[in-house]
Every structure is written in C-alpha cells, then in structure tokens.
Structure 1
Amino acid sequence: MKRRAFLTATALLAAAGPRLASSASGPYPAGNPTIVVGFAAGGAGDIAARVVANYVKETRGLAATPDFRPGAGGTIATDQVRRARPDGSVLSLYSVSPLLVAPHLQKVPYDSTRDFTYIASYAGISVPCFVRSDSPFKSWDELLDYARKEPEKLKWATAAPRGLAHIATDAAFRQEKVTATFVPFRGGADAVTALLGGHIDMVVSSDFGPHLAAGSVRLLAETSPNPKAAHPDIVSFAERGYPIAIPASYGLFGPPGMPKEIVAWWEDAIREMITTAMYADFLKIINGYPLFQESGEFTQMAREAYGDIGRQVEAMGIRL
C-alpha cells in the first residue's frame, strides 16, 4: 500500500472512533501496552494493529501503541514477545508466517505450540488463486484439467516462496495429481506484474484488490476456509477437502502464561469491535472477511495448523 493510501485508510479508521460505545470498560490491569508488529509500518499489518489500538483507545481509554520491529520475516519480533513479561504490557500482532510456517523452514528460538498465549483473532485475509481476466481458464476446474493434460506447462507464483499460499496450493495440486511450475518472486506486486504481462498463468496472493476492481484479473479459488463472505462464487480449498485450508488472519498473541483476566479483557474488546463500522471499513481496506476466534479456539487452530503445515513442508521436501 502506498503511503498516501495508507494515511487515508488510517484516517478513515480513526474517524470512526468517536461514534463507538463500549458495553464494558473495566480498567486494564497492565497500564498502557505495546503491540509489537514484526513488519514495517505502512502495510496491511500496520492497519491491522492500528484498528484494534484505535478501538480500545476510543472506547476504553487505553493507549495501546504499535511498535514496529521488522526483520527476518517477523521471527525476531516474535522471539522478543516470547521473552517479555506475561503481564499484558507487551502483546503482538499475529500473522501466520513467523508462527506457523517459519519454524518448519529455519531455526527459531521458540516453539509456537507452547511458547505463546494466543489471545484472539479478528480478521481473515482473502488469499485467492487468480488469473488474468482474458485467461482461457474460466474456472478452477478448467485450470486443473489443463495442468493435468500439459504437465509442468502451467506457471504460477505467490507473494512469498515457501509461504502459506505456496504450501497450501502445492498441497492442493498434489491432491489433484497436477504438476505445475512454480516461479519464485520477491513479493506479490512482482508476481502480479508478471501475470499481467503474460509471463505466468496464475498468482496466489492477497495483492488482488485493485486489479479485481479494475477488471484485470479473475478469481478462481480461495485458499482460506471462509471465502464465501467476500467472494461467494469461487471454489474454496476447504470445500474441496485440500490438505491445507488455514485462515491467513490477524489477531493478538502474547508471552506464555498470560493471566486469564487479561486475555478475557482483550476477548471482550475485540468481540465488541467486530460489530462496528470501524471494523467493516477495516475489512474493506484489507480485502478481508469477518473472523473472530476466542483464545481457546484460536489456540486450537494454531496448534492444528502448525502440524498440518509441517506435514506438507515435509511432503514438499523443503524442511530445513
């Protein structure tokens, strides 16, 4: 997201604040906390951290401050959160890569299944498989049929090699007995540029919004388990029974052993937030879909997804 668009988006979210009202405004037990973000300011993760920070400030008077610590795909910041005091003074923005994917591909000093408190998730990110609007593939099944008949001729890419979208789509292809050629790019923008230039056939990425609005791409399938809220006419990896259909989502997590009353405070605040106009505007900005998981469900999802991803990484032969 370019800086001007980002500033417009955050201004929109902040402007929604005074219209909000909280049904529960008990004092936060740990003063004003920091929300660590393992990525650079100015992107979707920045907005995801600010929407919850804006909400608790406007409704509960809590000054939760985003703290940007980019580097090593978020793994450095994740380990800093692991080592923080579990008193609610340090939280972090949850994203899939550093917690559920990276530990299978590189050495990290944490165990994602036991070293963190998963507080709540609050937004799903649509990560569809898409082609050019003039592509001969009008559906996911047409693309699969071509790839079966012409092994390795289908060229595809994702925003991040060995990321969740890559692992999930590779697993789907293997289940469908498809052999395709993965083309690595440094980011989603580069992959989409190659798609629009006719150099590859398909991209799996969240970087589709402006191109869909412009009519230059066609969505064929959705890697996350709940695309119907945003894109009701496309195939879901979950409904096809593919091995990986894990929500790429945003949420909050913290150090291990956080007190139940602090976790409950954030659960209540986020449960309120997802009913507001601020939240609806946020989802439009990130091309996301509604998602809310309390701590127990969030924890179970993360642990199960960690195992599922590990098995597919093993099958792909890319484990460290």
Structure 2
Amino acid sequence: MTGPRQLPTRRSALAGVLALAACGALPAFAAEPFPSKPIQLILPFPPGGSFDPIFRTLGEAAAKDLGQPVVLMHKPGAGGVMGTASLATMNEADGYTISVMHNSVIRAPLVTKVTWDPLKDFTYLIGLAGLTTGIVVAADTPWKTLPELLADAKKRPGTISWGNVGAISINRIYGERLAKLAGTTFNMVPFKGGSEAFTAVIGRHLDVYGDPGFGPQVQGGKVRLLATFTSERLKTYGAPTVKELGYDLVIESPVGLVAPKNLDPKIAARLAAAFRKASADPAYLRQVELFDMQPNVIGGDEYLAYAKAQYQRDAKMLADIGFKPE
C-alpha cells in the first residue's frame, strides 16, 4: 500500500513557476506592447503659433494608428531650442516623450554654449516638411515691395525694426545678411513665438517680420507679403523671391520629430511608421498648406544625415560672416 499523496508546498510551487518562466514556458512577465499610455509631443514654442494646429492635427492622426493619445506640451525658451533640448538630458528613452526638431536646435552649439550634442543626443524619427520664410509688413504700411523697404532702410540704418522668433534662428541671420547686402542695418528684435510677433507687426509696434507662418495673416489681409526666402515663388502668392530680386539668399528649414538617444529601434520604427501614415492625413495636409509648409517626408536615418550636413553648412556660413559664439 502506498501512503497518502502529498500536496506541493507553496515554496516548491513557486520554484516550479519560476523555472517554467525562465524556460520561456510562461509569458507572465512579457513587456507591455508599445504604446500602452499617452505619448507627449513637445512643441518648443509658446501657444498660438503655426505649430499648434499643424502638430495637433498630425498628433490626432497618429493617435488613430498608435491607439493612444498624442498630447501636445508647449515648452518654449531660447528661441525654440529649450524644449527640444530637454530630451537630450533625459535619463531614459521609452518612446513616450518626443519633440519637434528644427534647424535652430541643430545650429545651437555653433552660436552658444550648450551641454548636449544635436547629432548624438537624439534619436531622429522622421522628417516631415519644410518651413517657408517670408518677409511681411502690416497691410497699411507704405512699403509695397521689398526694394522700397530696403531703400527706406538704407536712408535710416538701424531705425526700422525687424522681428524673428529667437536670436539665433537662420531667419534672423538671413535678415541681417540681406541688410548687409543692401548696404544697411535693421533693429533686430527677437520674439518668443510667432503669435506674439504677428500681434506686434499688425499693431504697428514692429515694422517687419521675417519668419514662417505668415499664410493665414496674409490671406486675412492683415499683413502684406513682400518676398520669400524660397528658391521659387509660392503658387499661392504673387510675391517675388529674395533671390530673384538680386540677393542670393535661400532658406531651407525642415522640421521633424526626435526622441531621446538610445531609443529601442523597434519603438522608433513604430513611432516613425505611425507619423509617416499621419503625414498623409487630409486634415494635416490642409494645415500644412495653410501655413505654406512644403511636405517632405524622410526617414530617421536620412533626417540624421541631413542634420549632420546642415551642421557643417551652418558652421561654414557662420565662419564666412564672421559670427562669434555668445
């Protein structure tokens, strides 16, 4: 006769479970699928600018594919650099915090002291579109053309105010280069964001604004577009390019999305695929068209390659104009 069967002890049962899990027999400790919570998208500019509706519609479209909300968070400062730069100092990259990337961030180490590297401290996810820089004045100003504005500025150097977002943007630098080529200077005024600058120029507290995001203001009749820093004229407007007016100045200014460095490639690919799909969403494309952005979707590797090349171009350009870092 055999004795009564013994029930397994609690300790032996736990040991068995752990052994099975170690052998891969139990999926009890499998990682949660990404994403399992909302994704935060940092906009490095104040509320009310052109990036708000553009990236809100993009985020809404991406959220449909990701199955989680994409929540916009404004983090302005340093001319649109501070918000994006905050990712460079994050300890962990989990894909739940991403940011808009633009050329002022790439250029930052060339013009001021920073503790991060724009080419090493981010995971480049996707390039989305190019910003279009225009030169606008209030609709009731006497300047009807860019030559008229420059002629007046030449008579009164340093008197006419010219606004840009940030003190180190390429738009600010090219505004100064234009003035130099025309034989004059402007009173350069940095703004925190486009909404603040447009309010100033429409209210005649600022004479000229030279930045992207002018579309709705021009179409609403509040400002007059004198010229654009594009290689060709925009189809929507009759304004000439700065180049065709005799000044060889063309601004290329793409924007895209980045995450902190060392992001899991699978998560990076998931995010890139969702935002690539979202970049074809009709509501997003309407906003891009409204603000005169040029769609140009590229992958993360290509965007990083562009950033590296742009860094070298900016270094040469700043050296050529004799710019001294702050």
| TM-score w.r.t. length of structure 1 | 0.71
CA shift, 1:216, in A, is: 4.0
Q: Aligned pair 1:36/2:33, yes or no? A: no
Counterparts of 1:96-245 in structure 2 under 5 Å?
Answer: 96-97=103-104, 99-133=105-139, 135=141, 137-144=143-150, 150=155, 152=157, 155-160=160-165, 161-174=167-180, 176-184=181-189, 186=191, 188=194, 192=198, 195-196=201-202, 201-206=207-212, 208-223=214-229, 228=234, 230-231=236-237, 233-235=239-241, 242=248, 245=251
CA shift, 1:30, in A, is: 5.2
Q: Is the 8 A contact 2:164 2:210 kept in 1?
A: yes
Q: Is the 8 A contact 1:230 1:288 kept in 2?
A: no
Report the AA paired with residue 260 of structure 2.
P
Q: Is the 8 A contact 2:62 2:277 kept in 1?
A: no
Q: Aligned pair 1:296/2:301, yes or no? A: yes
Q: Determine the structure 1 residue equivalent to 2:59.
A: 53
Q: Is the 8 A contact 1:229 1:290 kept in 2?
A: no
Q: Give the direction of change, closer, same or farther, for the CA distance of 1:42–1:233 in structure 2 (3 Å limit).
A: closer
Q: Is the 8 A contact 2:179 2:186 kept in 1?
A: no
The CA distance in 2 between the partners of 1:86 and 1:240, in whole Å, is: 47
Report the AA paired with residue 170 of structure 2.
L
The match for 1:267 among 248, 266, 272 is: 272
CA shift, 1:84, in A, is: 4.2
The CA distance in 2 between the partners of 1:130 and 1:151, in whole Å, is: 19
CA shift, 1:152, in A, is: 1.8
Tell me the SS of whatever aligns to 1:159.
strand
Q: Give the direction of change, closer, same or farther, for the CA distance of 1:265–1:207 in structure 2 (3 Å limit).
A: closer
Tell me the SS of whatever aligns to 2:298.
coil
Structure 1 unaligned spans of 5+: 1-26
CA shift, 1:255, in A, is: 2.0
Q: Determine the structure 2 residue equivalent to 1:85.
A: 92
Q: Is the 8 A contact 2:48 2:195 kept in 1?
A: no
Q: Is the 8 A contact 2:123 2:260 kept in 1?
A: yes
The CA distance in 2 between the partners of 1:198 and 1:307, in whole Å, is: 38
The CA distance in 1 between the partners of 2:264 and 2:44, in whole Å, is: 23
Q: Aligned pair 1:255/2:254, yes or no? A: no
Deviations 1:8-36, CA, capped at 9 Å, x for gaps: xxxxxxxxxxxxxxxxxxx9745444323
CA shift, 1:128, in A, is: 0.6
Report the AA paired with residue 256 of structure 1.
K
Q: Give the direction of change, closer, same or farther, for the CA distance of 1:209–1:303 in structure 2 (3 Å limit).
A: same
Alignment size in residue pairs: 290
Tell me the SS of whatever aligns to 2:296.
coil
The CA distance in 2 between the partners of 1:239 and 1:63, in whole Å, is: 46
Q: CA RMSD in A?
A: 3.7
- Alignment identity in percent? 22
Q: Aligned pair 1:95/2:107, yes or no? A: no
Q: Give the direction of change, closer, same or farther, for the CA distance of 1:237–1:94 in structure 2 (3 Å limit).
A: farther
Report the AA paired with residue 302 of structure 1.
A
The CA distance in 2 between the partners of 1:94 and 1:48, in whole Å, is: 14
The CA distance in 1 between the partners of 2:129 and 2:160, in whole Å, is: 30
CA shift, 1:222, in A, is: 1.8
